[in-house]
Amino acid sequence: MKAHLLAFICHLLVLGAVALSVPRISPPPGSVIVRAGTTDTGEYASVQAAAQALPNDNSTRSIFVYPGTYTGQVNITRPGATYVCAPILRYSDEMSSDGMQIYGYTTDASSYHNNVVNIVASGTLTSAGSDDLSGSMRVQSSGVRLYNINVKNTYGPGVQAIALSAYGSRFGAYGCGFYGYQDTLYSNQGTQVYLKSYIEGAVDFIFGRLGQAYFEGNTIAVSGYGCITASGRQANNSAIYVFDRNEVVLASDAQSGISGRIFLGRPWADYARVIFKNTYITAPMNNTMWSIWNPGDERTDNVLFAEYNSTGPGIPSNVQRPNFATMLTASQAAQYDITSVVGSGWEQWVDMAYLLDADVTGFD
């Protein structure tokens, strides 16, 4: 027990549990304003209306969203990027400015804990016609950054129902929350980072085919039995999911009876590639940690399901990983960093203020 407590305290320190409060309560100059129920000229009552009001080009634009629950799907399709909340560090001004920015009002932009902007819908694969089309927020553009926005699909168990569908490259989610049950986060294509955010679901809730996604400092919350990831990598290509220094927990409203029925992932396709590094786990995992796709359809011939330095009381004492799982050495694990996932030059588009190793020297 003492060892687990010490490990948890160390994990909190790594995640920056003692962090500066960084408010973002007013729009950056030039932002399009979204305010629930507004009738003011020049403001919009929905995020979708604000996005549609932007020019259909690759000019740099930003949207600032005041507190509220905004019901209805949001589609980002313009050639440029959208950011929710401005970068919080002064050195972020050096980042590439192509695309679109969307800002969520918050009293502390450094994490998701004080988010008060919610985008909510309840589409499903059945009602929408495809998994992608069910997304409460669909990002089809490159260069989009979201800050301190909660995106929720409230449908619940029974069928695929996406919160975020992300197809763009140079996509970043910072201090955001993604809530769903089955297929919460569709990281399907492009280079993407998810930093200091919250991701909740039960069945295959981080998944996709071609996405190159890096996850750091997030809380991954399990609400029902199933697999956290379902990589659909279909060939020996660049698609990969790397998780470094995240925490896997039970959601506050998790179903009962799921102890031992939670897995880090299963292969949606035969070349699935998922790496978990330095993960602190309190959710009660199955003792195999990883799953086949289905009996008789295992899809494990070419997978890379790998771990390094997984700790925490959620790992069973009788853990017995399958032969298709890989335990990495420290030197092997070091090869799976943000550069290996999203490529060189990432410093020009990733908001480094949200990296756990960021040297925070000043705030705007």
User: CA-CA distances (angstroms) from residue 32 to 16, 26, 35, 145, 312?
Assistant: 32, 12, 10, 15, 44
Query: What residues contact 156, with CB distance under 8 A and at least 6 apart?
Result: 181
**Domain range for 11:** 2-354
Give domain status of residue 363, yes or no.
no
> With contact defined as beta carbons under 8 Å apart, do 32 and 40 qualify?
no
Looking at residue 3, its pLDDT comes to: 53
β-bridge mates for residue 325, sequence order: 305
Q: Which pLDDT score, from 0 to 100, does residue 359 have?
A: 56
Kindly name the residue from 204, 244, 270, 301 that is annotated as catalytic: 204
Is 204 designated active site? yes
Strand partners, 203: 182
Asked if residue 309 belongs to a domain, the reply is yes
Nearest Cα to Cα of residue 197 among 112, 137, 268, 70: 112
Characterize 290-315 residue by residue with b for buried, 16 or more Cβ atoms within 10 angstroms of its Cβ, and e for exposed. bbbbeeeebbbebbbbbbbebbbbbb
Q: Are strands 240-244 and 177-179 parallel, antiparallel or unpaired?
A: unpaired
Going residue by residue through the chain, which has 364 residues, state the pLDDT in tens, using 9 for 90 and above: 445 554 544 444 444 433 457 899 999 999 999 999 999 999 999 999 999 999 988 889 999 999 999 999 999 998 854 444 444 443 344 444 567 899 999 999 999 999 999 999 999 999 999 999 999 999 999 999 999 999 999 999 999 999 999 999 999 999 999 999 999 999 999 999 999 999 999 999 999 999 999 999 999 999 999 999 999 999 999 999 999 999 999 999 999 999 999 999 999 999 999 999 999 999 999 999 999 999 999 999 999 999 999 999 999 999 999 999 999 999 999 999 999 999 999 999 999 999 999 754 433 3
Is 360 inside any structural domain?
no
Amino acid identity, position 13: L
Asked if residue 304 belongs to a domain, the reply is yes
With respect to residue 359, please indicate whether it lies within any of the assigned structural domains.
no
- Give the domain CATH number at 71: 2.160.20.10
The answer to whether position 98 is within a domain reads yes
Q: How many folded domains does the chain comprise? A: 1
Nearest-5° angle of CA 99, CA 103, CA 104? 150
* The pLDDT of residue 15: 46
Residue 290 located in a structural domain: yes
* φ and ψ of 248, to 5 deg: -110, 120
> Which single residue is written with the structure tokens 């003792």?
287
Cα–Cα distance for residue pair 98/239, rounded to 1 Å: 24
Q: How confident is the model at residue 12, as a pLDDT?
A: 45
CB atoms under 10 Å from CB of 52, counted, come to: 14
Asked whether residue 215 is assigned to any structural domain, the reply reads yes
- Residue (of 233, 251, 231, 244) closest to 11 by Cα position: 244
